Amino acid sequence: MTDVERRTALEAIAAEVRVCTNCRLHETRTKAVPGEGDPETEVVFVGEGPGFNEDRQGRPFIGRAGDLLVKLLASIGWRREDVFITNVVKCRPPDNRDPQPDEIAACAPHLRRQLEVLDPAVIVTLGRFSMATFMPGARISQAHGTVRPVDPATGARSATVFAMYHPAAALRTPAIERDSYADMAGVPATLIASRARRESAQAPQPEPEPEPETTPEPETTSAPSQATDDATPQLTLF
Ligand code: URA
């Protein structure tokens, strides 16, 4: 997909999200929050759901939790514009209550389609509701800072998930804030490892050794390797 095709596809999904009525959360929202970021990024951050400020402005992670997310990104030399940021539910749960299973299920096709378009190498989950989508069965106290391969049924064809605490939890608990900085420091290496895995999965298989006694085949052109995405920006890794 070209940059323009990705942008257009993401904008089409966002337009659907803004008028979505698939669950009860649309009744109480001010604005739906589809997500935002670089359409060519290799890294997608997935939070829980919009809060008060996000609901007002229609943008993800712009309140206090967002400020901390920006600081966490800055600690590895990244900016929020370098990644894509979205949530498992795109409309604010009233009074910031937890999103309910039927609301997450109703919103899942939006996230799946975003991931199909973005084809990220790494998904960073922020909090347990996002983690449950990509690391089913994991417990955040043990899983934070760890990785797993992502099930392609999520929409992400070939990604690694990296679990983190939700920034709101880090704002409440200094020990979680310290863990969050330590965890974020592991994201660039996860991106490097995931890139390498994706590249080796795309590399052409070596030609089998010819049988010694057979007549040599006439030379053939080997199958072209998958086009690599030259437009992908290089995130500063260290
Ligand atoms: N918390 C989230 O999980 N998502 C946001 O967009 C903002 C706060």
The string of pLDDT tens digits covering residues 10-50 is 999 999 999 999 999 999 999 999 999 999 999 999 999 99
Residue 8 C-alpha to ligand 1 middle, in angstroms?
A: 24
| Closest-lying ligand 1 atom to the alpha carbon of residue 62 | 7
pLDDT at 212: 60
> Over the stretch 133-177, which tens digit does the pLDDT of each residue have?
999 999 999 999 999 999 999 999 999 999 999 999 999 999 999
pTM of this prediction?
A: 0.88
Ligand 1 pocket test: pick from 48, 55, 62, 72 the residue with the most ligand atoms within 8 Å of its Cβ: 48
The domains found in the chain, sorted by start residue, are: 3-200 (3.40.470.10)
| Closest-lying ligand 1 atom to the alpha carbon of residue 86 | 6
Stretch 72-79: mean pLDDT: 98
Say if ligand 1 is within 6 A of residue 50 CB: yes
Ligand 1 pocket test: pick from 25, 52, 54, 114 the residue with the most ligand atoms within 8 Å of its Cβ: 54
pLDDT at 233: 39
229: left (phi over 0), alpha (psi -120 to 50) or beta: beta
Residue 60 C-alpha to ligand 1 middle, in angstroms?
A: 6
pLDDT at 225: 31
For residue 216, give both structure tokens.
């040599």
Confidence label for 213 from pLDDT (cuts 50, 70 and 90)? low
Give the C-alpha separation, 164 to 147, whole Å. Answer: 10
Say if ligand 1 is within 6 A of residue 54 CB: yes
pLDDT at 216: 44
233 and 79 in contact (C-beta within 8 Å)? no
Q: Is the dihedral of CA 114, 119, 123, 128 positive or negative?
A: positive
Residue holding tokens 């590895």?
76
Residue 85 C-alpha to ligand 1 middle, in angstroms?
A: 9
- 11 CB-side CA count, 13 A: 6
